[in-house]
Homo-oligomer: A and B are copies of this chain.
Amino acid sequence: MTSHILLINCPDERGLVYKITGVLVKYNLNIIRNGEFVERDFNHFFMRTEFSGEVDPETLLRDVKEALPAAADIKLTDRRKKDIVILVTKEHHCLSDLLIRHAFQELNARILAVISNHDVLADLTQKFAIPFHYISHEGKSREVHEAEVTQAIQQYQPDFVVLAKYMRILSPEFVAPYANRLINIHHSFLPAFVGANPYAQAYERGVKIIGATAHFVNEQLDQGPIIAQNVIPVDHTQSAKEMAQAGRDVEKIVLAKSLKMVFDEQVFVYRNKTILLN
């Protein structure tokens, strides 16, 4: 018996749950976990159902489509590992954490490659037998550099691209092809401290809590849908550098948590927000 995940979102109307579960009952499938949500500003319905049982996916999908409004967005998937490529610059902590989780089969993903505009993380990456692409940005226009990175990514055809402290601002052209497939960890509690050097900004402002935000990347800097956030307390004794050190642990945990949810198909994106169902 295999386990499947059915993901549905569509304008809300009466009877949706009844219709969907009706199809599952027809094929004698067993619901393991079921989550629904209706967004009330725009009356949009979301449902995530994990089920087990023997069924032909094509047939099931066809029946669900027939049962639902034409506008419904329907996806039938399974728990298969996602293929990912990771972009980094010089900081290791998020990459280290992902490489370790990957090595111990905890990530529900295959890391196909690591790409960086610096070479300092090459050794670390190669310890774990993952290809490392060093694509320096020195002496290149943003356009040229991004084209090289894009080309490197494309040869792996990843499901997701993860920016694990990639410290370059991306052009809308780079981002566009990866809608809802490009995930960034930002080292602040967004929307506080958008842009460069958020720890220096936090230190300057004298905040008592700092944080990290994992989000999908869209065309506007640090404005994409937020997946997960977390915080830690800081105080006046900590320099900007010490805040950055303390923040690393939050960053790596928040990124890993958000990736777990994304790879486990628990994240819907709707109008610049995420809906998390599990």
Cβ of A140 to closest chain B Cβ, rounded Å? 28
**Contact among B21, B32, B229 for A38, CB-based, below 8 A:** B32
Tell me if A96 is interfacial: C-beta within 8 Å of chain B: yes
Cβ of A25 to closest chain B Cβ, rounded Å? 5
**Contact among B28, B237, B274, B275 for A37, CB-based, below 8 A:** B237
List residues of A (10-50) whose CB comes within 8 Å of B's CBs. Answer: 14-15, 17-18, 21-22, 24-25, 28-34, 36-40
- On chain B, the residues within 8 Å of A144 by CB distance are none
- On chain B, the residues within 8 Å of A17 by CB distance are 17, 21, 31, 34
- On chain B, the residues within 8 Å of A196 by CB distance are none
**Contact among B30, B191, B237, B274 for A192, CB-based, below 8 A:** B191
B239 touches A226 (CB 8 A): no
Q: How far is the CA of A239 from the CA of B39 in the complex (A)?
A: 9
Q: Mark A93-105, 1 if CB is under 8 A from B, else 0.
A: 1001100100110
A155-163, A172-180, A205-213 - the one binding chain B? A205-213
B32 touches A274 (CB 8 A): no
- On chain B, the residues within 8 Å of A278 by CB distance are 237
Supply 17 A–B pairs (Cβ within 8 Å), ascending by A: A31-B38, A32-B38, A40-B239, A92-B100, A92-B104, A96-B100, A96-B104, A189-B189, A191-B193, A191-B205, A206-B274, A208-B226, A208-B229, A235-B276, A236-B276, A249-B253, A253-B253
- Beyond A14-B29, A127-B128, list 18 extra A-B contacts (CB 8 Å): A17-B34, A18-B24, A32-B38, A33-B38, A34-B36, A39-B236, A40-B239, A93-B100, A103-B124, A190-B192, A190-B207, A191-B192, A206-B272, A208-B226, A208-B228, A231-B231, A233-B233, A249-B256
